[in-house]
């Protein structure tokens, strides 16, 4: 369950990140720790997210949080990068991981399969396209349950 302060924190953190040419990916407030830990994941839109990005965001967000007093008690602020998610969801991810090995899982059988592995070609409005040893496979998009990076291939 999301902590009730998370929407306010994201609302405050988003313009702070945008001013630094960063993007807020997610936020979690771990109140079961002492002191509580607020972790905000960020992404650099132009290049790989680095330690410098995390430090800049930490300083800027800490000042903004202190000014608003959203969290009145002591807490620890952690800024990090979410890293690479195994599951692809956005158009940007499908473009970025073109050529990478993926596994596509379907919600129901299609041509006798519910799972396919191959190199990602692309995704469009109608299908997800894979290259399986030189053969192009097209899986209708309405049947695709998930597409994950496959580190085994």
What does the pLDDT profile of the chain (153 residues) look like in tens digits? 578 999 999 999 999 999 999 999 889 998 888 899 999 999 988 887 888 899 999 999 999 999 998 998 999 999 988 765 578 888 878 888 888 899 999 999 999 999 999 999 999 999 999 999 999 999 999 999 999 888 665
The pLDDT assigned to 92 comes to 79
In this structure, the answer to whether residues 47 and 97 fall within a common structural domain is no
Q: Are residues 100 and 124 in the same domain?
A: yes
pLDDT of residue 8: 95
Contact between 142 and 148 under an 8 Å Cβ cutoff? The reply is: no
pLDDT for the residue 42: 93
* Cis bond upstream, residue 7 (ω within 30): no
Assess whether 40 and 92 both reside in one domain: no
Which of 20, 52, 80 is the last residue before a domain boundary?
Answer: 80
Tell me the residue range of the domain where 92 lies: 87-149
| CATH of residue 118 | 2.30.30.100
Q: Write down the pTM of the prediction.
A: 0.56
Domain final position from 80, 102, 118: 80
Crossing angle (nearest 10°) for helices 6-19 and 51-68: 130
């Amino acid at each position: 369950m999301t902590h009730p302060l998370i929407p306010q924190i994201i609302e405050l953190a988003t313009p702070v990140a945008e001013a630094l040419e960063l993007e807020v990916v997610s936020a979690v407030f771990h109140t079961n720790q002492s002191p509580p830990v607020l972790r905000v994941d960020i992404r650099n839109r132009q290049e790989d997210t680095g330690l410098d990005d995390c430090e800049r965001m930490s300083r800027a967000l800490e000042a903004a949080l202190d000014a608003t007093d959203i969290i009145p008690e002591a807490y620890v602020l952690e800024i990090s990068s979410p890293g690479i998610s195994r599951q692809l969801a956005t158009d940007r991810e499908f473009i970025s991981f073109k050529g990478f090995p993926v596994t596509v899982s379907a919600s129901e059988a299609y041509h006798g399969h519910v799972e396919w592995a191959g190199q990602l070609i692309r995704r469009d409005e109608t299908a997800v396209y894979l290259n399986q040893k030189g053969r192009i496979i097209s899986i209708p998009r309405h049947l695709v349950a998930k597409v994950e990076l496959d580190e085994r291939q």
